[in-house]
């Protein structure tokens, strides 16, 4: 991945920056320029909630290239407390510790690295609230 392609997504991946429609209130992650609910182009940048609950999840055993050493790992759709949905890894727990509805919060983690000398990708993961 080129450095600019990684760098331009940093606000969303490091700080959960999304956008909110000024007209209808719908929120998006990552930010959008056009609201798909009402068609408005008046959207403003917002910081999204750092807590939410698991809607559904899966445990990956057959990874794509670059994720081999993390197997098995958990991926989930989380609905944040402000209603925005996000795709994330669930970390620091085992699959039998979570269920539909489990409360989780955002943490900052390494996602993967690109070989010996490439970019180290960072971003959010979520972890169960104990």
Report in angstroms how near the CB of residue 91 gets to other proteins at its nearest.
11
Residue with Cβ nearer other proteins (64 or 117): 64
Report in angstroms how near the CB of residue 44 gets to other proteins at its nearest.
19
Give residues with Cβ within 8 angstroms of 60, minimum separation 6.
Answer: 67, 71, 72, 73, 74, 75
Omega before residue 30 within 30° of 0, cis:
yes
Contacts with other proteins in 48-87 (CB under 8 A)? 55-68, 70, 72-73, 75-77, 85-87
Find, among 99, 80, 90, the residue nearest to 28 by Cα: 80
How far is it between the farthest Cα atoms of the chain?
47
Instruction: Identify the residue among 39, 47, 81, 95 touching other proteins (CB under 8 A).
Output: 95
Is residue 31 close enough to count as binding other proteins by CB under 8 A?
no
Report in angstroms how near the CB of residue 5 gets to other proteins at its nearest.
8
Which residues share a beta bridge with 64? Answer: none
Is residue 30 close enough to count as binding other proteins by CB under 8 A?
yes
Question: Total binding residues for other proteins by CB under 8 A?
Answer: 39
Q: Compute the C-alpha angle 13/72/94, nearest 5°.
A: 85
Residue with Cβ nearer other proteins (42 or 68): 68
Q: How many angstroms separate the CA atoms of 129 and 109, rounded? A: 16
Contact footprint for other proteins (CB under 8 A)? 9, 12-13, 28-30, 36, 55-68, 70, 72-73, 75-77, 85-89, 95, 100, 111-112, 121, 123, 125
């Amino acid at each position: 991945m080129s450095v600019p392609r990684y760098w331009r997504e940093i606000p969303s991946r490091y700080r959960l920056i999304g956008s909110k429609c000024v007209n209808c209130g719908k929120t998006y992650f990552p930010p959008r320029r056009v609201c798909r609910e009402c068609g408005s182009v008046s959207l403003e940048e917002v910081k999204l909630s750092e807590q939410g609950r698991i809607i559904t999840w899966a445990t990956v055993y057959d990874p794509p290239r670059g994720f081999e050493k993390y197997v098995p790992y958990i991926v989930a759709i989380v609905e944040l407390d402000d209603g925005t949905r996000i795709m994330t890894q669930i970390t620091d727990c085992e699959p039998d510790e979570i269920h539909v509805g489990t409360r989780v919060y955002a943490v900052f983690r390494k996602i993967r690295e690109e070989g010996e000398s490439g970019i180290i990708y960072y971003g959010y993961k979520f972890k169960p609230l104990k």
